[in-house]
């Protein structure tokens, strides 16, 4: 296990702290005033939001043990830049996970706007589009992308920590919903009753 992988994993765990702070809009505004509290929250949001994906990329692309998929091992190609062999079966597994993850992420950002995605400050409860089938499309997209890249790169440690990644994302989702309930009250409670958190309606 490389130091790059360890640093990226620790960074991903630690980034949860400013992420939590970025979600506490009411508390920050109460403590620092509306204008200053909003600015501090936005800074926390930018740092934690971009850090979240930066450390995920670090986990995926860091030097680590590679697993060999026993299926179709003869079908593969070499990527010289990364000194990495991509197996066709892993590439086939990667494609639908990556496409679904990107689709969920983009749809989520389009519906909330990039600013909301970066600062974690929602202006209203969105219940249409992708948010009518899942409450956290971008988080689910991150999980799917993580699994997809772990297979694509045959990244053993990355794949093994998938349960930890899912657990941390669940904690983030729980915290975000706790704060959204404070901000939007009964409206968000009703939304939670009708739309699942991380497993889309089509699987219910």
At residue 38, φ and ψ (nearest 5 deg) are: -65, -45
Contact 47, 18 (CB under 8 A): yes
Average pLDDT over residues 177-188: 95
Instruction: Specify the number of domains making up the chain.
Output: 1
Tokens standing for residue 19: 């992420």
Residues 6+ apart with CB under 8 A from 126: 111, 112
CATH number at residue 30: 1.20.120
Q: What was the pLDDT predicted at 84? A: 75
pLDDT value at position 78?
58
Average pLDDT estimate for 3-7: 95
State which residues form the domain around 177.
Answer: 3-203
What does the block give as tokens for 197? 């958190």
What's the CA gap between 177 and 171, in Å, rounded?
10
Q: What span, in angstroms and rounded, lies between the C-alpha atoms of 190 and 186?
A: 6
Reported as a single tens digit per residue, the pLDDT across 143-180 is 999 999 999 999 999 999 999 999 999 999 999 999 99
Q: What is the pLDDT of residue 77?
A: 61
Which pLDDT band, with edges at 50, 70 and 90, does 73 fall under?
Answer: low
pLDDT tens digit sequence for 74-132: 666 655 456 677 888 888 999 999 999 999 999 999 998 888 887 888 889 999 999 99
Alpha helices in 113-185 (DSSP H): 114-119, 137-152, 156-160, 162-184
As a whole number of angstroms, the distance between CA 88 and CA 71 comes to 9
Q: For 8-66, write each residue's pLDDT tens digit.
A: 999 999 999 999 999 999 999 999 999 999 999 999 999 999 999 999 999 999 999 98
Q: What are phi and psi of 49, to 5 degrees?
A: -65, -50
């Amino acid at each position: 296990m490389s130091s790059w992988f360890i640093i990226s994993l620790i960074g991903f765990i630690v980034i949860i702290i400013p992420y939590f702070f970025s979600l506490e809009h009411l508390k920050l505004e109460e403590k620092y005033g509306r204008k200053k509290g909003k600015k501090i929250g936005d800074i926390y949001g930018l740092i934690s939001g971009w850090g979240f994906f930066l450390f995920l990329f670090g986990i995926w692309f860091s030097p680590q043990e590679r697993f060999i998929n026993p299926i179709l091992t003869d079908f593969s190609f070499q990527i010289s830049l990364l000194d990495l062999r991509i197996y066709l079966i892993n590439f086939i597994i990667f494609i639908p996970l990556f496409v679904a993850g990107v689709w969920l992420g983009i749809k989520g950002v389009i519906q909330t706007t990039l600013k909301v995605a970066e600062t974690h400050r929602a202006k209203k409860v969105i219940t249409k589009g992708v948010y009518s089938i899942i409450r956290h499309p971008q988080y689910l997209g991150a999980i799917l992308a993580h699994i997809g890249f772990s297979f694509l790169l045959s990244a053993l440690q990355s794949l093994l920590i998938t349960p930890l990644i899912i657990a941390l994302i669940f904690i983030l989702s729980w915290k975000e919903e706790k704060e959204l309930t404070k901000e939007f009250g009964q409206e968000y409670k009703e939304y939670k009753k009708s739309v699942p958190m991380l497993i889309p309606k089509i699987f219910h």
